[in-house]
């Protein structure tokens, strides 16, 4: 088979092809300004449950997002194709949208080209992973769980893709990446446990470890006892911490809500918004996350301090929001122009502490150990109040020891305030799918407002 029929075998060639395609579209555009974002990739996902693969899928997908500007009127159109007809239709559609729109007096122009340093995020063997490879990985997870009499369900996923951005402001960047993710929910009678992993390379994920770790928690979480709702100290494992942080990113760290005055940090940069032990940042370039060199406007990714020592320091912006906030350039967090959310941090980090996860539990007089949360949603964005359930392993801790599993509880909590009550964090940071790199933490006085039956 020719290389052109299997473009994923040569990501560099694909980057050149997408860039050339985008730049040609920009050159041929009759708009005042034109930006073209092109993506091409493949995704494979194997799902297993009850000892078998019940869903097993693959797709090859392409996407084009065309943004044009006519006399400060902006139009956006997208197509899931890189064929000439589809791209031309998208450009025509974007022009029609711009013509029907109204001039935006605040339109700052498309962002100019800035230097982008490459990052390493492509693993060839992961890009070429076969269905059989994924099936073998799933079988290993299932086998590891069964060694502890557990039944595993979960996924094995391998993706690869290329993103290119070209614009009339001189932007011309391209990047290829791979991504592997696996997880297991293991049930053991009425107990359940969870483990997951995400990496650039599938070889960095350990099927046996994922299966064993989830099974161990499942075994321990059997025969959960009811516990009254109330206020408890908690040790949150990194998956639970990441769920809070990712929701916080949505409500608090996006430049659009911030600038519109409806974010919890609106008007509060430079102020103390949580405890001094809380330091959060975003850094798409860090090798500990899934690295990306630039955002969807082709602007360089860079470290952005969100909260340092409890003080709010920044929010994520695209070019438009940066200018409205009086900044010359964005923070490099633009979403595609087709997204109304505009900009959010997507590679979060939280500073760890000095403890081990065991110490966090060992130093707790009475409280809960929470593996992860489920179905978290926002109750009050301005107050960062979230609600959600615990899931797959919730334990009562007394005098520094796990005494038994408890039925899952509902928390309802002001998360910024709760983070301010952290009195211990693990030294080790864990990369959680999202991605988010977070420690385990111990939080005093988390409010649990309800309990379920399992």
Using alpha carbons, select from 270, 416, 436 the residue that is nearest to residue 351: 436
Structure tokens at 165: 């951005």
Structure tokens at 392: 């797959």
Please provide the distance, in angstroms rounded to a whole number, between the alpha carbons at the two ends of the chain. 54
Between 61 and 398, name the residue whose CB sits nearer to another protein. Answer: 61
Residues 15-44 vs another protein: string with x where CB under 8 A? ----------------------------xx
CB of 370 to another protein, least distance (A): 14
> With contact defined as beta carbons under 8 Å apart, do 79 and 59 qualify?
no
275 is a site residue for another protein (CB under 8 A): no
Tell me the HSE value of 69 on the side-chain side, using a 13 A CA sphere: 19
Burial of residue 339 (number of CB atoms within 10 Å: 0-12, 13-18, 19+): middle
User: Which of 31, 77, 198, 200 is in the footprint of another protein by CB under 8 A?
Assistant: 77
Residues 106-135 vs another protein: string with x where CB under 8 A? ------------------------xxx-xx
149 is a site residue for another protein (CB under 8 A): no
Between 117 and 374, name the residue whose CB sits nearer to another protein. Answer: 374
User: Which of 29, 126, 157, 158 is in the footprint of another protein by CB under 8 A?
Assistant: 157
Using alpha carbons, select from 176, 153, 148, 182 the residue that is nearest to residue 41: 176
217 is a site residue for another protein (CB under 8 A): no
CB of 256 to another protein, least distance (A): 10
171 is a site residue for another protein (CB under 8 A): no
180 is a site residue for another protein (CB under 8 A): no
383 is a site residue for another protein (CB under 8 A): yes
Which residue has tokens 């930006």?
A: 35
CB of 59 to another protein, least distance (A): 4
DSSP assignment of 356-395, as one string?
-HHHHHHT-SEEEEEEEEEEEEEEETTTTEEEEEEEEEEE
CB of 56 to another protein, least distance (A): 4
* Region binding another protein by CB under 8 A among candidate stretches 50-58, 203-211, 277-285, 298-306: 50-58
Euclidean distance between CA atoms 123 and 137, whole angstroms: 17
Between 157 and 289, name the residue whose CB sits nearer to another protein. Answer: 157
> With contact defined as beta carbons under 8 Å apart, do 140 and 51 qualify?
no
What's the chain's length in residues? Answer: 454
412 is a site residue for another protein (CB under 8 A): yes
CB of 230 to another protein, least distance (A): 13
162 is a site residue for another protein (CB under 8 A): no
Cα 94 to its chain centre, rounded Å, is 29
Neighbouring C-beta atoms of residue 117, cutoff 10 Å: 10
260 is a site residue for another protein (CB under 8 A): yes
> With contact defined as beta carbons under 8 Å apart, do 35 and 337 qualify?
yes
> With contact defined as beta carbons under 8 Å apart, do 38 and 24 qualify?
no
142 is a site residue for another protein (CB under 8 A): yes
163 is a site residue for another protein (CB under 8 A): no
3-state secondary structure of 23: helix
* C-alpha gyration radius of the chain: 24
139 is a site residue for another protein (CB under 8 A): yes
Q: What are phi and psi of 174, to 5 degrees?
A: -150, 155
CB of 55 to another protein, least distance (A): 6
CB of 25 to another protein, least distance (A): 15
56 is a site residue for another protein (CB under 8 A): yes
CB of 60 to another protein, least distance (A): 5
191 is a site residue for another protein (CB under 8 A): no
User: Which of 81, 250, 277, 305 is in the footprint of another protein by CB under 8 A?
Assistant: 81
274 is a site residue for another protein (CB under 8 A): no
Euclidean distance between CA atoms 265 and 310, whole angstroms: 12
User: Which of 13, 58, 118, 189 is in the footprint of another protein by CB under 8 A?
Assistant: 58
Euclidean distance between CA atoms 47 and 54, whole angstroms: 6
93 is a site residue for another protein (CB under 8 A): yes
261 is a site residue for another protein (CB under 8 A): yes
């Amino acid at each position: 088979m020719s290389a052109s029929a299997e473009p994923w075998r040569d990501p560099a060639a694909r980057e050149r092809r997408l860039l050339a395609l985008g730049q040609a579209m920009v050159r041929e555009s009759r708009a005042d300004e034109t930006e073209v974002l092109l993506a091409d990739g493949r995704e494979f996902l194997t799902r297993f449950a009850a000892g078998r693969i019940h869903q097993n899928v693959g797709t090859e997908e392409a996407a084009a997002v065309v943004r044009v500007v006519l006399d400060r009127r902006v139009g956006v159109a997208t197509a899931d194709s890189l064929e000439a007809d589809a791209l031309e239709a998208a450009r025509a559609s974007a022009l029609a949208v711009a013509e029907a729109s109204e001039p935006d007096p605040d339109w700052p122009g498309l962002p100019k080209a800035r230097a982008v340093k490459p990052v390493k995020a492509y693993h060839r063997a992961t890009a070429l992973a076969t269905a059989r490879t994924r099936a073998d990985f799933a079988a290993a997870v299932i086998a590891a769980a069964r060694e502890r009499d557990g039944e595993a369900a979960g996924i094995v996923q391998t993706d690869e893709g290329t993103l290119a951005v070209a614009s009339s402001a001189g932007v011309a960047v391209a990047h290829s990446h791979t991504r592997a993710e696996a997880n297991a929910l293991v049930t053991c009678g009425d107990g359940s446990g969870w483990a997951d992993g995400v990496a650039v390379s599938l070889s960095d994920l350990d099927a046996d470890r994922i299966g064993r770790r989830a099974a161990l928690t499942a075994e321990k979480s059997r025969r959960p006892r009811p516990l009254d709702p109330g206020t408890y100290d908690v040790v949150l494992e990194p998956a639970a911490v990441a769920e809070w942080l990712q929701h916080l990113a949505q409500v608090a760290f996006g430049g659009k809500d911030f600038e519109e005055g409806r974010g919890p940090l609106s008007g509060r940069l430079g102020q103390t918004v949580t405890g001094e032990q809380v330091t959060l940042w975003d850094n798409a370039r860090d090798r500990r996350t899934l690295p990306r060199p630039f955002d969807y406007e082709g602007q360089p990714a860079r470290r952005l301090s969100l909260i340092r020592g409890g003080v709010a320091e920044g929010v994520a912006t695209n070019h438009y929001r940066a200018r409205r906030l009086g900044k010359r350039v964005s923070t490099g967090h633009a979403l595609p122009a087709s997204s109304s959310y505009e900009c959010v941090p997507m590679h979060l980090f939280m500073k760890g502490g000095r403890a081990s996860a065991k110490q966090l539990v060992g130093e707790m007089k009475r409280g809960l150990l929470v593996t992860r949360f489920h179905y978290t949603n926002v109750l009050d964005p301005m107050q960062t109040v979230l609600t959600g359930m615990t899931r797959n392993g919730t334990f009562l801790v007394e005098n520094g020891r796990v005494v038994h599993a408890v039925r899952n509880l509902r928390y309802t909590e002001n998360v910024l305030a709760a983070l301010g009550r952290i009195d211990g964090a693990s030294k080790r940071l864990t990369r959680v799918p999202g991605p988010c790199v977070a420690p385990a933490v111990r939080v005093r006085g988390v409010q649990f407002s309800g309990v379920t039956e399992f």
